[in-house]
Amino acid sequence: MNLQTAYYKTPLGTAKIVGDANGIQSITVLDEDIETSVEITDCLKDCATQLEEYFSGKRTHFDLKLNPQGTDFQKKVWAELQNIPFNKTRTYLEQSKALGDVKAIRAVASANGKNPIWIIIPCHRVIGSDGSLTGYAGGIWRKKWLLAHENPVKQQSLF
């Protein structure tokens, strides 16, 4: 089956969605301004709709067939990323522990950085042990925006 491509404008740039009947292979955010595709094939339409719902605050969980391309280890890391709940974060160390190998922290961080499916596999929810917004392929400002979008109400400290 031929891979299909669609473009969808988001508040953070244009999302380039690539996939086919086997699932979404990649969603990348582009800095260039490309109009939303007029004709979106059925295999990508659901993805564009769910992204729209996410950005409008109506969706906290994605229900899409995914088909990311990578090594077995990368796929394991990306699958674990999907277990991080909406509006929660996890450190790289916690992510390594969840995968069963605390020593794999660098490999886990590397696999996070190669995540091909922007937002839906939520690598933006992984932060540094000190709470810092470390590396993000789409740019730190996008990571900050996504985390604020998912957790708009800031709780006041008790102390």
Query: For the chain, what are the domain ranges?
Result: 4-55, 72-150
| Residue 16 CB partners (closer than 8 Å, separation 6+) | 5, 6, 7, 26, 27, 28, 29, 30, 34
pLDDT higher than threshold 80 for residue 158: no
Band of pLDDT at residue 137, cut at 50, 70 and 90: confident
- Cβ distance 46 to 64 under 8 Å? yes
Number of H helices, E strands in the chain: 5, 5
- Cβ distance 17 to 67 under 8 Å? no
Distance from chain centroid for Cα 55: 13
The mean per-residue pLDDT over the stretch 25-39 comes to 91
* pTM of full prediction above 0.85: yes
How many CA atoms lie within 13 Å of 93's alpha carbon, on the beta-carbon side? 4
Considering only residues 153 and 124, tell me which one the structure prediction assigns the higher pLDDT.
124
For the segment 87-118, what is each residue's pLDDT rounded down to a tens digit? 999 999 999 999 999 999 999 999 999 999 99
Active site residues: 123
Distance from chain centroid for Cα 127: 13
What would the two tokens of residue 16 be? 């380039």
- The CATH classification number of 72-150 equals 1.10.10.10
